[in-house]
Amino acid sequence: MLPTPTRGLAAAPYPSPVQSPAAPAASSRAMPAASRVAPELDRLQVHARERNSASSRAYISSESRPAASRGAPRAVENEGIIRRFNRGKTGVDDVLRVTTACIIKLGDDHEGARACLEALQRCRHPQTGETVFPSTVTYSAAISACEKAARADDALSLFAHLQQHGPDRGVFPNTITYSAAISACEKAGRADDALSLFAHLQQHGAARGVLPNTITYTAAISACEKGNRRGETGRLLDDGITAGIFRPSLGFSAGKNMLDLHENAILISPAPSGRPAGAHPAVARAIFDRLLGQGVIDQTTRFVVGQHGQGSLQAAIDACMRQQGWVPVHPHNAQGRPNIGLLVAAPASASADGTGGTSTGRPAWASIPAPASAAGAGERDSPAPSPAGTQTHRQPLPGGARQADPPGAGSASAISWADKVRRAPASRK
């Protein structure tokens, strides 16, 4: 946790979750159960405090950081607006606006972001004595910087600091704050912490109109997968359906026996896009497992995976099919070309060259080499492949044209709040 403020930010104890105002109870599928939310969150905060106490005491403030250190220009900009405020030349809103912009520009420089946040403790208006406390947006930006740097403990300590000192000043975490903190836990594979935050949001957020959105659910599902808690992903999907995030069909069409894994088929309110984006691989795997366990999909189902990012969505479903003993192939269209955006299971009786069952002898599908990562039974326990390291099974388009990769579509990396927040439906932020 951040050191106890001594200037400008008067220490104010934050009531524990069990003392929070009554709010509509979380769904019975919330993880962990509502009765466990308070102790789980207390454990999360204590863990973060213990892991960060030494580094917090030894932290070098932005005033004394070497000029050549990373993020120094942004810290100088932050210091400049603070000096103007301390001379009575500007107001609180300008200080917060500049500080937030400074933190966002720092990207994954979590130390620079923390320096900007701590520098606000030196603010005091000469005429009014007014001080500056970070806003929800400023806190969210700093937590996002920790998330981008894969610093889960730092993100959780900032979240705990907001909870402890924010309420007396009317500053509370919003959906973006929760999503950034959950995403930080997701990157660290800390499913228990991610689920504790998610359950706390469900239990206490509704009273203030703060609800989980697509990004929150995706980060929580991915955290469960990385933290070997895949049994929880189905309940998260069910909860998301109840909350109006996921479509009840989860992209499956019974009439066509086809599972479409694009966001516009899965989500109630997908982000506007000229080209439908593919689902996050962790969500796609969760949907595959859920529908397979319910007997909705089988070896005859067609899977629409599109051509996205580095092929991570296709690789995820390819691996799911192989784990069932199915051989994924690309069916050929009427022109005899493989449909790269579609996966089906090759019939067990078909010939290896794909000519079985055709009267013309022309291949009915294009086979796909098995990726090395899909060969072992424990592949699902490994982290989702990153865009840079994903093996792709995409084939060249006719004429040698390359397939376009829309930015971020189908990415298997952890959800980044700063990168994805613009795509979240406005009604769910």
Give the Cα-Cα-Cα angle 17, 210, 276 (nearest 5 degrees).
135
**Given the structure tokens 């509502």, which residue do they identify?**
34
Whether 21 maps to a domain, the answer reads: no
Cα gap 266→218, rounded to integer Å: 12
Q: Are residues 199 and 278 in the same domain?
A: no
pLDDT in the model for residue 273: 77
Any domain includes 352: yes
Tokens of 225: 């997968």
Is residue 122 assigned to a domain?
yes
Residue 416 covered by a domain: no
Count up the domains in the chain and report the number. 2
Condensed to tens digits (0 to 9), the pLDDT of residues 381-425 reads 333 333 333 333 333 333 334 334 333 333 333 333 334 333 444
Structural domain contains residue 422: no
Task: Kindly report, residue by residue over 152-171, the tens digit of the pLDDT.
Answer: 999 999 999 999 999 999 99
Tokens standing for residue 45: 């905060």
Which amino acid is present at 377? Answer: A
Q: Which helix (H) or strand (E) holds 258?
A: strand 258-260
Contact, 282 vs 384, CB < 8 A? yes
In terms of residue numbers, what domain contains 366?
Answer: 252-400
Alpha-carbon separation of residue 315 from 143, 176, 343, 349 (angstroms): 31, 29, 10, 24
* Residue whose C-alpha is closest to residue 247's, from 232, 226, 262, 225: 262
In a domain, 409, yes or no: no
CATH of the domain at 169: 1.25.40
Helix (H, G, I), strand (E, B) or coil at 237: helix
Asked whether the beta carbons of 339 and 331 are under 8 A apart, the reply is yes
155 and 287 housed in the same domain: no
315 in the same domain as 196? no
Q: Is the pTM of this model over 0.85?
A: no
Q: Domain check: are 42 and 128 in the same one?
A: yes
Residues 192, 299 within the same domain: no
Are 308 and 378 contained in the same domain?
yes
Instruction: List the pLDDT tens digit at each of the 429 positions of the chain.
Output: 333 333 233 333 322 322 333 333 333 333 343 334 444 445 544 444 444 443 333 232 333 343 334 444 444 568 999 999 999 999 999 999 999 999 999 999 999 999 999 999 999 999 999 999 999 999 999 999 999 999 999 999 999 999 999 999 999 999 999 999 999 999 998 999 999 999 999 999 989 999 999 999 999 999 999 988 888 999 999 999 999 999 999 999 999 999 999 999 999 998 887 788 899 999 999 999 999 999 999 999 999 998 765 688 999 999 999 999 999 999 988 888 888 899 999 986 554 445 444 444 445 555 565 555 433 333 333 333 333 333 333 333 333 343 343 333 333 333 333 343 334 444 443
Residues 193 and 274 in one domain: no
Whether 220 is in a domain gets the answer no
Number of alpha helices (DSSP H) and beta strands (DSSP E) in the chain: 14, 6
297 and 150, same structural domain? no
| Whether residues 153 and 265 fall in one domain | no
2 within some domain: no
